[in-house]
Amino acid sequence: MSESEELHKGLEGVLVAESALSYIDGSVGKLVYRGYAIEDLAQDASYEEVLHLLWHGHLPDSEELDAFTDAITEEAAVDDTVLDALAGLAEADEQPMAALRSGVSMLSAADPDDADPRDLEASLEKGRRIVAKIPTLLAAYDRLRRGEDPIEPRSDLSLAANFLYMLTGEVPDDASAEAMDQALVLHADHGLNASTFTSMVVASTFADMYSSVTAGVGALSGPLHGGANQDVMELFFEIEEQGADPVDYVTTKQEQEDGWRVPGYGHRVYKVKDPRAKILEKRAKELSEASGDTTYYDYAKAIETFFTEEKGLDERGIAPNVDFFSGTVYHQLGIPVDMFTPIFALSRAGGWIGHVLEYQEDNRLIRPRGRYVGPENSDFTPLDER
């Protein structure tokens, strides 16, 4: 390879595809799905509407939405063989993200359609089944590891409400269902992030949709991508346990632990506050005040205020991202902290599927090159002479 060729570590700044699904302007904190501002979608659109938008290119009318929602609801049940396998993983105390990765992969065994992966309509149907079943998988796994029986999905609840119902055994109130639905809308897509790109790389070989989504789950499981919301809540738990002032606690950790960063702070793309963080901040405040316990919301605001007003991090392009407040929202909904990243996957699977289908319409195998920096002209020595 020519030494003059520029190296882009992590593919930073490299354009690898065109997409009509989502657009981010990190300099002003703008996120749109197919031209619609995330603020409008989060306020007025359901997750099902957003899925239809991402997959079909337009917001559905009432008739289209009913048919689309019914089609998802009809696929929500998970085969007993998969549930049995999840029970084995629960006994082994597997982490929820790992259980989800295995569960999505196992779903392919019960798929009724063995169509060629190059059949995009059939792939869309597989994607619909995956999105419908992930909430059931996750809720079942959490119950199984707690020694409780899985709960079958209901046909009269939205995907978000159904997930909370299957997780807790109680139909959520409107505020909880709306909060869960809004969180799913906000996480549904976000350009060519690591997990989306991973799904596309796998799909570019024309592997099946289950392989692509399984790969996306694997990429999202890494702490540099999907785990910050859990880290935020665990930080808040530490502060509460120590009875410490939140600002003193995080500044002390920064001083004592070289390289430690406040989780949920800063973003590879955004140079201002993440627009999704602004929306979830409001939701976290509402849920916390309604519960009568604003402890964790107060921690978040105290830390944000300090780093903004005292340290001026916002002027350096470092501000809260979506994870800084999403953990508080999920905690207020009674969701265990190690389920936060799986919920991220629950939502983002819709975006992965949309990008896979879009890319495969004009597919080209994704095959980057690397610069060789190893030894040259090595003399080979036979085994008996080494």
323 catalytic? Reply is yes
3-state secondary structure the chain: CCCCCCCCHHHCCCCCCCCCCEEEECCCCEEEECCEEHHHHHHHCCHHHHHHHHHHCCCCCHHHHHHHHHHHHCCCCCCHHHHHHHHHHHHCCCCHHHHHHHHHHHHHHHCCCCCCCCCHHHHHHHHHHHHHHHHHHHHHHHHHHCCCCCCCCCCCCCHHHHHHHHHHCCCCCHHHHHHHHHHHHHHCCCCCCHHHHHHHHHHCCCCCHHHHHHHHHHHHCCCCCCCHHHHHHHHHHHHHHHCCCHHHHHHHHHHHCCCCCCCCECCCCCCCCCHHHHHHHHHHHHHHHHHCCCHHHHHHHHHHHHHHHHCCHHHHCCCECCHHHHHHHHHHCCCCHHHHHHHHHHHHHHHHHHHHHHHHCCCCCCCCCCCCCCCCCCCCCCHHHC
Spot the catalytic one: 225, 298, 314, 338: 225
Spot the catalytic one: 52, 187, 190, 267: 267
Please report, in angstroms and rounded to a whole number, the separation of the first and last CA atoms in the chain: 31
208 catalytic? Reply is no
Pull the structure tokens for residue 51: 């899925």
56 catalytic? Reply is no
Q: How far apart, in whole angstroms, are the C-alpha atoms of residue 178 and residue 164? A: 11
Closest listed residue to residue 296, CA positions, set 261, 327, 336? 327
Spot the catalytic one: 52, 323, 331, 355: 323
Pull the structure tokens for residue 65: 């939405």
Positions marked catalytic: 225, 267, 323
